[in-house]
């Protein structure tokens, strides 16, 4: 466990119970102790102030000594970004239901327009299973951020699955060289 600063201490009050009083807490009897607990924390900037955040620092930000507002927002947008492949697979599962037969019905259930449902379902169906499985199983926020719908769309225009997979592997090697 890494510490980014001095240990943050928090007082934890422990109350002893008297067995003859139906296990109600006994107060001010001189037997109450203060126990100090060490908690991991890191600091980040928010509204031009440093704030303490309890818990371990995210692994992606572990090399940064003091996290700025811009770095934190970039990290949050990368972790909260929707994966277009996961979204398309989720909407594709709606069609397995007997009552959903059109993009309009699926869009009504999903709460988006039917064009958006068509875009993501066609993206998933036109990509090879190897690519969709990799992107659906991957939890790395930077890979999710890198393989947006905009970068995956040109793969769907290629003719053969072998060329799509080859192009995807080239995109992966470029991404690994960049970061």
Question: 138-147 burial by CB neighbour count: b if 16+ within 10 A, else e?
Answer: eeebebbebb
| CB distance 62 to 2 below 8 Å | yes
Examine the pLDDT at 20 and tell me if it is beyond 90: no
DSSP annotation of 100: -
| CB distance 106 to 100 below 8 Å | yes
Examine the pLDDT at 142 and tell me if it is beyond 50: yes
Grouping H, G, I as helix, E, B as strand and the rest as coil, residue 113 is coil
Examine the pLDDT at 174 and tell me if it is beyond 70: yes
Among 41-55, 77-91, 121-135, 144-158, the least confident range: 41-55
| CB distance 156 to 127 below 8 Å | yes
So where are the chain's domains?
8-69, 84-178
pTM for this model (two decimals)? 0.58
Compare 36 and 152 and report the one with higher pLDDT.
152
Examine the pLDDT at 22 and tell me if it is beyond 60: no
Q: What is the pLDDT of residues 96-107, one digit of tens each?
A: 877 888 888 888
Question: Span 36-50, mean pLDDT?
Answer: 73
**pLDDT for position 133:** 93
Examine the pLDDT at 162 and tell me if it is beyond 80: yes
Q: What is the CA radius of gyration of the chain?
A: 26
Examine the pLDDT at 145 and tell me if it is beyond 80: no
The average confidence (pLDDT) of the chain is 78
**pLDDT for position 12:** 43
| CB distance 1 to 56 below 8 Å | yes
For residue 154, the number of C-alpha atoms closer than 13 Å in the C-beta half-sphere is 7
**pLDDT for position 18:** 46
């Amino acid at each position: 466990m890494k510490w980014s600063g001095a240990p943050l201490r928090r007082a934890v009050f422990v109350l002893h119970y008297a067995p003859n009083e139906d296990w109600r807490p006994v107060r001010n009897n001189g037997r109450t102790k203060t126990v100090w607990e060490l908690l991991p924390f890191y600091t980040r900037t928010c509204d031009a102030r440093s704030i303490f955040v309890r818990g371990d620092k995210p692994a992606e930000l572990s090399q940064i000594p003091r996290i700025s507002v811009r770095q934190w927002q970039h990290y949050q947008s990368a972790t909260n970004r929707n994966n277009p492949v996961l979204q398309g697979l989720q909407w594709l599962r709606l069609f397995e239901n007997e009552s959903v037969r059109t993009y309009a019905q699926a869009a009504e259930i999903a709460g988006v327009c039917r064009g958006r449902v068509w875009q993501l379902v066609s993206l998933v169906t036109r990509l090879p299973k190897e690519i969709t499985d990799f992107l659906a199983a991957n939890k790395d926020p930077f890979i999710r951020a890198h393989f947006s719908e905009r970068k995956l769309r040109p793969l769907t225009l290629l003719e053969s699955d072998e060329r799509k997979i080859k192009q995807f592997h080239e995109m992966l090697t470029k991404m690994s060289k960049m970061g």
